[in-house]
A and B are shown apart, each in its own frame.
Chain A
Amino acid sequence: MNQEQKLMNIEIKDLLSQIGDYYRSGHRLVQIGCTKLPECLEINYSLDKDYSFTNFKIKLEDLDLEVPSVSKIYWGAFLYENEIHDLFGVKFKDMAVDYQGNFYRTSVKKGFNP
Chain B
Amino acid sequence: MKIFVMAFKVLKSLFRRPATLGYPSVPREYYKNTRGKISIDIAKCIYCASCQRKCPAQALTVNKLEKKWIIDRLRCVSCGYCLEVCPKKCLAMENNYSASALKKEEEVFEGA
Q: Do A and B come into direct contact in the complex, CB within 8 Å?
A: no
Q: Which residues of B contact A (CB under 8 A)?
A: none
